[in-house]
Amino acid sequence: MTREKNPNATTVELSQPFSLAKFFFQWEWMLVVLFLLVNLLNVNLSPYYLNFDNLKDALPTFLDKAFIVLPMVFIIILGEFDISVGSIVALSSVVMALAFQMGLPMEAAVGLCLLVGTLCGMFNGIIIVKFKELSAVIVTLATMIIFRGIAYILLEDQAAGHFPSWFKGLSWGYVGDVPTILIVFLVFALLFGWVLHKTALGRRVYAIGNNVTAARFSGIKVDRIKVLIFTSAGFMSAVTALFLTSRMGSTRPNVASGYELEVITMVVLGGVSTSGGKGRLIGAVLAVFLIGYLRNGLGLINVPAQVLLIIIGLLLVVAVMVPNLQWNKKRALRHGERKKEGK
């Protein structure tokens, strides 16, 4: 978290002396403050919010999609988008349910679910690097429709379920007093955070996001990294499918619709720039908890669903505007200095 180790700090920033104000005026700190504010607000709005049972029981309801947030941070830092993740969730969940119905043991069906998700992600990645004239948005828009279409063909508008009881425990279970899903999420978050901020692969992802041509000329295997990252998004979508299916006890081809946008919302709110090359994993993870508990708190005072959407929309607008404002201010200052020098 210290700024010296921040890999996306530009050389300009490094040459400046360390400033405490600057350290705290980072988007991640804004999120921490926002998170505290939301919690304060919730505690006062509802007497039921600050209750250990509520706080821990709320986790499974929003952490399932958080698994996709982790690879999506990588994808958006690359300067790309993947909007097929919701459909991958649906397809891998439906395949798992069907395989189980056909008599496959549940353990094997879970494996199949992860395999299907991974293959879908790999398919996305390969198409994206093979057809460079197509942007990832267009490619994943197409596969979004294809994957969900296959799910509909497989299950024909029906629901499938009746899973063994241990599978239910995945999303409803606890290790001691800690929800299983939280532990799994934190393990994945640490893994993705370590890769992004501590390894060469992570630094290359930033390099590609900042300038793909320069990255290519400096010998970074851009295509291989892209395929790897889109594949990981497929895998993590399948992990989401596992937890979501477990929570519902049955699945349908239309599950997880709109998840792609919710995930992208969390990543952008987490301070990851949609123009690529900027942002940190911790921000997105904070945004997951921020939105999750905001929804929970407002749900506890029974705020109508539409109002909730508006509030989250406003949060997102702020998240997108604030970094731009800062950047514009800096640019305006520099521009002004240059003018003075010129005179």
Partner 1 sequence: MKRLFPKVLVALMVLGFLGVGTVSAAPLKYAIIFKNTGNPYGEKEMEGFKNAAKELGVEAILKAPDQPTAEAQIQMIQELIAQKVSVIAMVANDYDALQPALEKAKAAGIKVLSLDSAVNAASRQVHINQADPERIGRVEVQAIVQMIGGKGEIAVLSATSQASNQNLWIDWMKTELKDPKYKDVKLVKVAYGDDLRDKSVSEMEGLLKSYPNLKGVIAPTTVGIAAAGKVITDKKLKGKVHLTGLGLPSEMAEYIQSGVCEWMYLWNPLDVGYLAGYAADALVKGTITGKAGDKFKAGKLGNKVVIADGDGTQVMLGDPFKFDAKNIADWKKVY
DSSP calls for 197-258 = HHSHHHHHHHHHHH-HHHHHHTT--HHHHHHHHHHHHHHHHHHHHHHHHHHHSEE-TTTTTT
Of positions 255, 267, 284, 287, contacts partner 1 by CB under 8 A: 255
Tracing tokens 């929570």 back to the chain, one arrives at 247
Q: What is the DSSP letter of 51?
A: -
Q: Nearer Cβ to partner 1, position 211 or 254?
A: 254
Q: Does 328 bind partner 1 (CB under 8 A)?
A: no
Minimum distance from CB of 93 to partner 1 (Å)? Answer: 12
Contacts for 162 with CB less than 8 Å, ≥ 6 apart? 101, 250
Kindly write out the interface string for residues 216-245 of this chain, putting x where it contacts partner 1 by CB under 8 A and - elsewhere. ----------------------------x-
With CB under 8 A as the contact rule, which of the stretches 8-16, 180-188, 233-241, 251-259 interacts with partner 1? 251-259
> Which amino acid, one-letter code, is at 198?
K
Is residue 82 a contact partner of residue 317, using CB atoms and an 8 Å limit?
A: no
User: Closest distance between partner 1 and the C-beta of residue 26, in Å?
Assistant: 12
**Which of 4, 15, 17, 21 is in the footprint of partner 1 by CB under 8 A?**
21
Q: Cα separation of 284 and 311, whole Å?
A: 18
25 makes contact with partner 1 (CB under 8 A) = yes
Asked whether position 295 contacts partner 1 by CB under 8 A, the answer is yes
One residue of 31, 58, 225, 294 binding partner 1 per CB under 8 A: 58
Nearer to partner 1, 136 or 255 (CB): 255
Query: Which of 31, 42, 91 is CA-nearest to residue 237?
Result: 91
Of these, 299, 311, 316, 323, which contacts partner 1 (CB under 8 A)? 299
Token output for 274? 């949609």
Q: Which residues lie closer than 8 Å to 40 by C-beta, 6 or more apart?
A: none
Q: Which residues of the chain form contacts with partner 1 (CB under 8 A)?
A: 21, 24-25, 33, 37, 40-41, 43-49, 51, 53-54, 57-58, 61-62, 157-159, 161-162, 168, 172, 244, 247-252, 254-258, 295-296, 299-300, 302, 304-306, 308-309
